[in-house]
Amino acid sequence: MDSFLIKGGVPLHGEVEISGAKNAVLPIMAATLLTNEPCVIRRVPNLSDVRFMAQILEWLGAKVKVDGDTVHVHAKKIKGHADYDLVRKMRGSICIMGPLLGRLNKATVSLPGGCVIGARPINLHLKAFEALGAKIRIESGYVEASAKRLVGGPMFLGGRAGSTVLGTANAMMAAVLANGVTTIESAACEPEVVDVANFLIAMGAKIQGAGGPTVTITGVKALHGAEHNVIPDRIEAATFAIAAAMTNGQITIKGARADHLHAVIDKLQEAGVVVDHRGSDMIVRRGTKLKPSDVTTLPYPGFPTDVQAQMMALMTMSPGISIITERIFESRFMHVSELTRLGADIQIEGPSAIVKGGKPLSGAPVMASDLRASAALVIAGLAAKGTTQVNRVYHLDRGYEQMDVKLRKLGARIQRIEES
């Protein structure tokens, strides 16, 4: 398994281009299964999750061609049964179920895998399919859904931790070819959901209200091919912004969507970070001094859970006591023990982490447990004195396109150690 070797203490300076959003591109790729005509998706990041999704589409019968950051998909003839070993590797692969059900009125998909960050059930996905008239059966590690014909209707997708992003996308993709009108209440409002809806609309779907809590879909008889540019990855942009502050550097984050990052920018400014805007770019640097802050993760437009670990890394450098409360996933503090290896003082109290910051971090070997924990450990290593080795960076490769390459261009002393 590959690892990163980081020699910290170097302020980051320069420009970084933000890649397309992982959490948008996966369901958008899945949505190409809804039509037998060719689709073109641009600004696609080169990620292991994207490669897995391409393999799944090919296994289902689609022709997939990758040309740089452009992906061509032609799902002229497909089957409704996905390969077990492919799907179980990635939680995002469950989003093929809605398109398969919408187009073929049947779908058989294995229970998905992904990061181990607490319970991430798919019950709301299945609830949406049942609301459209599908019958659900779970057997031998597979989920089977079938219907003579999907019929639109009302559904409520609010869960214990709020709305479901992937579940909302799955429900929209299943409903666009259903008979009648579907109304999704408590729909996820994330920009990635809006991006999926925009792609479906470009294919001929009739969707209103995406980005709000109520989404209305009027079914159509068929969808056609379309072209689409994926939105920039707001989580990657936030990660580089925090890296600039932690290393006391200055980074111009090109192509970032500040309108997708209001909660993050607000908390960074509260923590003493300066964020300026120049068109679609953000210029981020540390202010005169870092300050303690109080952060609670919430569904969009609240502070994203996917930036919680990175923000905690910044808190370790802020003199005073900071508190971060996780309201989305109950097991998303697995990076705490690794940050303490670097010298952080963090105590867990229920859903909250109490961070006593201001002590310098020092390099040490650490182990990544999930995608965003990996990013937090990398940026902590960039700020720490000495050498940090972040092991198991395959987690990082799932959601950050060539992070080590981008960091080196900013002046970081980081190298990938490849292991067979």
- The predicted model gives 130-159 an average pLDDT of 94
Number of continuous H segments (helices) and E segments (strands) in the chain:
14, 25
Cis peptide before 301 (omega within 30 of 0): yes
Which 8-state DSSP code applies to residue 384? Answer: S
Which residues, 6+ apart, have CB-to-CB distance to 243 below 8 Å? 12, 249, 251, 379, 382, 407
Catalytic site includes residue 115 = yes
- The predicted model gives 280-286 an average pLDDT of 96
User: How confident is the model at residue 120, as a pLDDT?
Assistant: 46
The winner for highest mean pLDDT among 78-87, 141-150, 400-409 is 400-409
Q: Which residue has the higher pLDDT, 318 or 370?
A: 318
22-229: same fold as 3-19+232-417? yes
48-59 vs 22-31: helix crossing angle, rounded to 10: 10
Q: What is the CA radius of gyration of the chain?
A: 21
Give the closest residue to 380 by CA, choosing from 347, 355, 352, 402: 355
User: Is 80 exceeded by the pLDDT of residue 18?
Assistant: yes
pLDDT tens readout for residues 202-222: 999 999 999 999 999 999 999
At residue 82 the predicted structure's pLDDT band, cuts being 50, 70 and 90, is confident
Q: What percent of the chain has pLDDT over 70?
A: 97
Structural domain boundaries of the chain?
3-19+232-417, 22-229
User: Is 60 exceeded by the pLDDT of residue 103?
Assistant: yes
User: Is 50 exceeded by the pLDDT of residue 87?
Assistant: yes
pLDDT tens readout for residues 246-276: 999 999 999 999 999 999 999 999 999 999 9
pLDDT tens readout for residues 307-345: 999 999 999 999 999 999 999 987 789 899 999 999 999
User: How confident is the model at residue 417, as a pLDDT?
Assistant: 96
Tokens linked to 220? 């159509």
User: pTM to 2 decimals?
Assistant: 0.95
Tokens linked to 80? 């409704």
Cβ-in-10-Å burial (0-12, 13-18, 19+) of 80 comes to buried
User: How confident is the model at residue 92, as a pLDDT?
Assistant: 72
User: Is 80 exceeded by the pLDDT of residue 121?
Assistant: no
List 39, 95, 115, 189, catalytic entry? 115
Tokens 């469950």 belong to which residue? 94
Tokens linked to 72? 């061509």
User: How confident is the model at residue 113, as a pLDDT?
Assistant: 53
| The architecture CATH gives domain 22-229 | Alpha-beta prism (3.65)
User: How confident is the model at residue 115, as a pLDDT?
Assistant: 39
Average pLDDT of the chain is 94
- Which residue(s) pair with 386 in the sheet? none
371-383 vs 234-246: helix crossing angle, rounded to 10: 20
Strands 365-367 and 281-286: unpaired
Q: What percent of the chain has pLDDT over 90?
A: 87
Which 8-state DSSP code applies to residue 366? Answer: E
Give the CATH H-level superfamily of domain 3-19+232-417: Enolpyruvate transferase domain (3.65.10.10)
- Which letter, b or e, does each residue of 293-327 get, where b requires 16 or more Cβ atoms within 10 Å of its Cβ? bebbbbbbebbbbbbbbbbbbbbbbbeeebebbbb
- The predicted model gives 375-380 an average pLDDT of 98
Three-state SS at 4:
strand
How many angstroms separate the first and last alpha carbons of the chain?
A: 7
Tokens 């229920």 belong to which residue? 350
Please report the DSSP string for 145-211 in residue order: EE-SS-B--EEE-EETTEE-HHHHHHHHHHHTTSBSEEEEES----HHHHHHHHHHHHTT-EEE-BT
Tokens linked to 314? 């910044």
